[in-house]
Structure 1
Amino acid sequence: MVEIRPSWVSSSQVSIPSNLRTWVQIDLAAFRHNLKAIRARIDPTAGIIAVVKADAYGHGITRVAPAIADQVDLFAVANVLEANELAALGLGRDILLLGPCLPDERQAAVDAGYIVSVSSAEEAAAVAALAGTRPCTLNLKVDTGMGRMGCWHEDAEEVVRQIVKLPNLGAFHVSTHLPAPDEDADFTREELEGFGRLAAQIKAIAPQAKFHALNSAGIFEFAGFAPDYVRAGLVLYGSCYPDIYQPQIQPALSWKARLVLVRDVPPGRSVSYGRTFFTPHQMRIATVPVGYADGFPRQVSGHDTAVLVHGRRCLVLGRVTMDQILVDVTDVPEAQVGDEVVLIGRQGGEEILARELADKAGTISWHIFTGLKPRGSYFYYDSDTGSTV
């Protein structure tokens, strides 16, 4: 947290020190809302695995995970390092490792009791051997089209036959990952139907097996294919692909800054690196102290990208630089130094979603969230109770 001076302003239920140039606000109530939206779509017997890898998608795992622990069944992270940080919070939930372990990571994963993802019977046996007589918890990944890890689905039944012979096999998950639930509905439906048939075959061999396939887009598009668990990632944070479901969820994150300079600029002046923009007429141009070093993507330059000032959309002019962007506040005559600027979030009747910024940059919301590293502070609050954390 930055050193705070006595001067403060209020920003969406959070008091922000007036000497702070940029900051992120996280509304913990949004997570509860989004979990309810997920529960409403899936079978009531299905559990929720909260995916909190990459520092909870850039939202802060040490604050987000405790806020939702009593509303989810498991947590999932990418690797042992992330799992150790999560386990240290003592939240009492099992932790699934989504990615494969290095051979020298396996012992630590087994000792900690993590659910280790494997792609073959040989890998499963190697992990189980490190557990000795202790139960070994495994997740067999099945490749149904992602091609990233896992045994090929046509080989999965035989792989399971080998895994169930392990004398110390404990909890056992079988999962797949959907590569295109929001882009190729026909393939995804066929993929899920095939995984469902495979699950029935495996259930006869391993009655204790738990199955999961649906990621965030899958939860909304194919909710009927949720046998034991769903894995809630992006949707948990209030962003959704396809965007037709966005009204059902609430973004948890807002990114804001302040105007640090406002100038009147005559026509014919160049703006920012490369001189790609010239003022066509007299303009008021404001400087915002964020740039690509903070996670505001340089790729949005020249693509009619907007920020919000006094509830109005103001275009980013010229190229995004490392530390600053320049915005057109000609139509916001009341704009002055110190005013709040919204880069992601809502102000007045306008809203800029992470997806909008991602689209302008030719990327995805996941990339925007996990790439945020503003040189400011994170503030956590609960809009339902009005409290800050």
Structure 2
Amino acid sequence: MLSNLLYTNIVCIYKFNIEGNYHMNTHLLEPLTRWLEIDLDLLSHNIDEVKKLISPDTKIMAVVKDNAYGHGDIVIANEMESLGIDFFAVSHIDEAIRMRKNGVKSDILILSYTSPYYFQLLSKYNLTQSLISLEYAKKIDNFCNINRCHINTHVKIDTGMHRLGLCYDGTPNTIKPILEIYHLSHLNITGTYTHFAVADSLNPDDIAYTKKQFELFQKLITILREKNIHTGILHSQNTPATLHFPDFKCDYIRAGTLLLGMPYGDIAQSPQAKNFKPILSLKARISIVKMLPANAKVSYGLNYTTSKAEKIAVVAIGYGDGFPRYLSNRQLKVIVNGHLAEIIGNICMDQLIINVTSIENIEEGDIVTLIGSDNGYTISLDYIAQMMNTLNNEIVNHINPRVPRVYIRGNDSFIKFSIF
């Protein structure tokens, strides 16, 4: 009964905050055992930094797919709208409809395939669908003709990613199906775009490949416009291309992880990338502290044995929350009470264990920072991603929706809770 009331109170707090902020009461965090802390001031900072990279007449299309890379798409999108973002991109129609139902008014581009079963919803919710092939474009055109409805579309051009889109390699044969799309009479084409395969790489061959992709895109647009074809808005640069190739002139750039302070790949080490700040921290509480004798074995698999009497703390987070089990027994440290403590033993689904022998005055309820900074120490998302040989956004994408998102704005003066 108590837990139900507690959950209800937190949900009510969040619903209230959709309409406005409230002054932070730190005791509202006390019920939470693990949470993502998201700094909306840093989001604003990152948007400003993107604007410094692009020309004044280029705009930002914010990619908020996969729940805004785990940050919470509704709160993030609403915040971005208030900061002047007027176009969003998602992967799937369910993401777009959820945003519409939660107050997002700006244009929303669906980057992936939408089943013909849902074409009617594209029209109903005023969504923009990517045209990924001539055959697919004909299906939408036919649907609009039969149902006398209106669907906005962007033509996806494959200049070398070789995934979705109509292939264009500069030859007359590849331009024919593209021209046919623009002449379908019931399509409302409002944009044209391409996507880069290796824009994050500083390898000379990869740099040349990206430049070739953009040259092909420019060549195609020139041909289309010479034929008096309206291409709509143009966009090509993703997060790494925005950093690495800011001179690729289009109407919009498509930034996702960059706005969240998570540039990736080789380009993440560039000077311009250093101006972007991660807006996310992952925190959890200690649930119990105990002393173990020497030669005590710890956690599933008994992979850690105390070498002497050691003090351990159990932290209320695990791989079920999205903190990877792969990080077990890799000498990864977390921050607790201003000190570093090593994760020991196997990470469990809902718990992990840290060695706190050298830390005094540690007790139940103390906050542990697993990703983020405290007291001069930083456990970076990039560091964890490197340990796992993956991208930083894969780590946050896997943080379970059961982990509450706590949104902070204004020198910790205001917070928002988002319980999914």
- Alpha-carbon distance, 1:134 to partner: 4.6
CA distance in 2, matches of 1:65, 1:315: 36
Q: Does 1:172 align with 2:195?
A: no
TM-score by length of 2: 0.84
Code of the aligned partner of 2:210: T
Deviation at 1:14, TM superposition (A): 6.7
Task: State the 1:282 CA deviation.
Answer: 3.1
Q: How does 1:129-140 map to 2 (within 5 A)?
A: 129-132=142-145, 133-140=148-155
| Paired position in structure 2 for 1:8 | none
CA-to-aligned-CA distance 1:312-334 (integer Å, 9 cap, x gap) = 22211121111111112223223
Alignment CA distance shift 1:235-1:106 (3 Å) = same
Q: Does 1:225 align with 2:240?
A: no
Counterpart contact for 1:29–1:382, Cα < 8 Å: yes
Label 1:202 to 1:385 Cα distance change in 2 as closer, same or farther (>3 A): farther
Q: Note if 1:243 corresponds to 2:268.
A: yes
Q: What residue is the counterpart of 1:148 in the other structure?
A: 163
The CA distance in 2 between the partners of 1:21 and 1:4, in whole Å, is 16
Match of 1:257 among 280, 284, 292: 284
Gaps of 5+ in 1: 6-12
Letter in 1 for 2:197: P
3-state SS, counterpart of residue 114 of structure 2: coil
Query: What TM-score do you get using the length of structure 1 for normalisation?
Result: 0.91
- Asked if structure 2 preserves the Cα contact closer than 8 Å seen for 1:115 and 1:137, the reply is yes
CA contact (8 A) 2:39 2:279 kept: yes
Shift of residue 252 of structure 1?
Answer: 1.7
Which of 192, 206, 209 in structure 2 is aligned with 1:187?
209
Q: How far did 1:51 drift?
A: 0.9
- Describe the superposition over 1:22-55 as per-residue Cα deviations: whole angstroms up to 9, x where unpaired: 1222221222111111111112111111111111
Look up the SS of the partner of 2:77 in the other structure: helix
Flag the 1:88–1:289 CA change in 2: closer, same or farther, 3 A.
same
Which residue number corresponds to residue 331 of structure 1?
A: 358
Segment of structure 1 superposing worse, 131-140 or 320-329: 131-140
Contact 2:46-2:259 at 8 Å conserved across structures: yes
Q: In the comparison of the two structures, how many residue pairs are matched?
A: 382
Tell me, yes or no, if the aligned pair for 2:193 and 2:236 is still in contact at 8 Å.
yes
Of the three residues 44, 54, 58, the one matched with 1:32 is 44
- Distance in 2, Cα, partners of 1:125 & 1:3: 48
Q: Which amino acid aligns with 2:268?
A: D
Match of 1:369 among 396, 403, 408: 396
Query: Matches of 1:194 and 1:111 in 2, distance apart?
Result: 35
Cα shift at 1:96: 0.3
SS at match of 2:75: helix
Cα-to-partner distance string for 1:148-195 (whole Å, 9 max, x where unaligned): 211112265323311222223334322122222113333223322332
Unmatched 5+ stretches in structure 2: 1-5, 11-23
Q: 1:368 to 1:73 in 2, by over 3 A?
A: same
Secondary structure of 1:43's aligned partner? coil
For the residue of structure 2 that corresponds to 1:243, the secondary structure is helix
2: CA distance, partners of 1:276 / 1:223 = 49
Superposed counterparts of 1:266-277, under 5 Å: 266-277=293-304
1:124 counterpart SS class: helix
CA contact (8 A) 1:295 1:374 kept: no
Contact 1:212 1:231 in 2 (8 A): yes
SS of match in other structure, 1:2:
helix
Aligned twin of 2:328: 301
CA contact (8 A) 2:243 2:273 kept: no
Q: Confirm or deny: 8 A CA contact 1:305 1:360 kept in the other structure.
A: no
In structure 2, the residue matched to 1:128 is: 141
Identity of aligned residues (%): 30
Q: Distance in 2 between matches of 1:136 and 1:333?
A: 63
Alignment check: 8 A CA contact 2:182 2:189 kept: no
**What SS is found at the alignment partner of 2:215?**
helix
Letter in 2 for 1:358: A
